[in-house]
Structure 1
């Protein structure tokens, strides 16, 4: 009996350590994604185009987020394994767990697409605004999916009261809505930035000719 209690206590401490690393990886990834998104929005508002330094930063950011996602997979699988040993197969029927797995799978697949298609196109074009319209739409949607997914997964991770209380459909109901809203906001912002950048050369021409712009 004492041996079983000691073993259970050891498993709890092990789970605590794994959850701590899992939380750190999630915080790092969310912080990097959020900082990058804020910087991109600021650049769009200022009409600034990306430089070579920005491209290097983007490649480094992608690598850091990929590493954080890998740590999330490893630690998440460890947490699931520990909880399975404690609770059995009924643990997998938890809708909150199912929702988290679905979102992380989407994050992983989306990250692969970003790394394979969007990042090379961005490095080649030098600016989000200079991408071909189809590629730009895909980049905006993937970015919205990534940002919303990280925050939504974090919300599910800390939302212990959500476990077994809501169905999978109810837990994911707001997820696609937030993605669409994020995509629409970024689409409107990029369209405004493109219009502003297109008007800038004409204004510079008038000034160069010695005629006031206003």
Structure 2
């Protein structure tokens, strides 16, 4: 049983690392586009579709292996295992990640593919996209931290374990919102014609 649990945790860890790597590289690419200007829409759409498929597959593996590990630990420790605040925190975050992934799949990514850029989205959709991105990035890293933090088990309450979680989401949202607003102002300034330049040249 111990070797089975070890194998499940290994697959679980690999899926988590793959998902975090994909999300991180996507976030870096988006920040780079905001700082330097967007790449072609065809490249963005292909990247979004590939990223979406990969993250969905990784999330499915996380659910399957995570549920299997919980089942193995339940057989070993009984119902008291479900009282572990660390386990409860991980389940809450994974549920939020899953719901957020569905939201990204059904609302945010189609809007991004249609608009071609985060800056071209309508205000409400742009705010939703920024918040969903912040929630996704923070949640993956937070879940990974809880996963490797064995000393956290039974030492802290559920409230204490999740206390920093919403704070980090708000900070991530605020940082991306500020960067997006700066990028929009720069883009609008570049599109403004300068008639005074031609007048001064005469």
TM-score by length of 1: 0.90
TM superposition shift of 1:48: 2.4
Q: State which of 4, 8, 15 in structure 2 corresponds to 1:25.
A: 15
Cα separation, 2, equivalents of 1:107 and 1:52: 27
Partner of 1:175: 165
Distance in 2 (alpha carbons) for counterparts of 1:60 and 1:45: 23
Q: How many residues align?
A: 201
Paired residue for 1:54? Answer: 44
**What residue in structure 2 maps to residue 117 of structure 1?**
107
Residue 6 of structure 1 is matched in structure 2 by none
What CA distance in whole angstroms lies between the structure 2 residues aligned with 1:112 and 1:86?
Answer: 34
Q: What's the CA shift for 1:208?
A: 8.7
Unaligned 5+ residue runs, structure 1?
Answer: 1-10
Compare 52-61 and 122-131 and name the one that shifted more. Answer: 52-61
Task: Specify whether residues 20 and 136 from structure 1 end up closer, same or farther in structure 2 by C-alpha distance, changes over 3 A only.
Answer: same
Partner of 1:202: 192
Counterpart residue number, 1:45: 35
Instruction: Return structure 1 stretches of 4+ with deviation > 6 angstroms.
Output: none
Q: Displacement of 1:210 after TM fit?
A: 8.7
> How has the CA–CA distance of structure 1 residues 70 and 43 changed in structure 2, closer, same or farther, with 3 Å as cutoff?
same
For 2:138, the equivalent position in structure 1 comes to: 148
Q: Which of these two proteins has the greater Rg computed from alpha carbons?
A: 1
TM-score, reference length from structure 2: 0.95
- The alpha-carbon deviation at position 54 of structure 1 amounts to 1.1
Partner of 1:7: none
| CA deviation vs aligned residue, 1:150-179 (integer Å, no higher than 9, x gap) | 000000000000000000000000000000
Which residue number in structure 2 is paired with residue 5 of structure 1? Answer: none
Match of 1:3 in 2: none
The question of whether the paired residues in 2 share the 8 Å contact of 1:25 and 1:71 is answered with yes
1:193 to 177, 180, 183: 183
